[in-house]
Amino acid sequence: MADDPVRRGVAALRSAQVLLVLAAGGLWGASRLPWVLIRSFDGLGQPRLVTVSGASWSTALVPLGLLCLAAAIAAVAVRGWKLRVLAVLMAAVSLASGYLAISMWVVRDIAVRALDIAEIPVTSLQGTERRLTGAVLSLVAALCVMAAAALLMRAAARGTSGDAKYAAPAARRAAARGLDDGTDVPEMSERLMWDALDEGYDPTGDPPDGAPGPDPQGR
Q: Could you give the number of structural domains in the chain?
A: 2
d(CA 130, CA 126): 14
205-212 LR contacts (CB < 8 Å, sep 24+): 207/179, 207/180, 207/181, 207/182, 208/181, 208/182, 209/182, 210/182, 211/182, 212/180, 212/181, 212/182
- Please indicate, yes or no, whether residues 17 and 89 belong to a single structural domain of this protein: yes
pLDDT tens column, 56-107 = 998 999 999 999 999 999 988 888 888 899 999 999 999 999 999 998 888 8
- Please indicate, yes or no, whether residues 91 and 52 belong to a single structural domain of this protein: yes
- Please indicate, yes or no, whether residues 107 and 144 belong to a single structural domain of this protein: yes
Contact 47, 39 (CB under 8 A): yes
On the question of pLDDT at 171 being above 60, the answer is no
* Least confident range of 71-75, 119-123, 203-207: 203-207
- Please indicate, yes or no, whether residues 219 and 137 belong to a single structural domain of this protein: no
- Please indicate, yes or no, whether residues 30 and 138 belong to a single structural domain of this protein: yes
- Please indicate, yes or no, whether residues 50 and 124 belong to a single structural domain of this protein: yes
* Least confident range of 44-58, 84-98, 178-192: 178-192
pLDDT of residue 146: 96
pTM assigned to the model: 0.68
Of 158, 174, 193, the position where a domain reaches its end is 158
pLDDT of residue 189: 59
pLDDT of residue 6: 74
Of 158, 181, 201, the position where a domain reaches its end is 158
* Residue 195 neighbours by CB distance under 10 Å: 24
Identify the top-confidence range among 27-31, 36-40, 43-47, 49-53: 27-31
- Please indicate, yes or no, whether residues 174 and 140 belong to a single structural domain of this protein: no
Q: Domain range spanning residue 106?
A: 4-158
d(CA 93, CA 113): 24
- Please indicate, yes or no, whether residues 129 and 193 belong to a single structural domain of this protein: no
Q: Which residues contact 18 (CB under 8 A, 6 or more apart)?
A: none
Mean pLDDT of 112-126: 85
- Please indicate, yes or no, whether residues 129 and 186 belong to a single structural domain of this protein: no
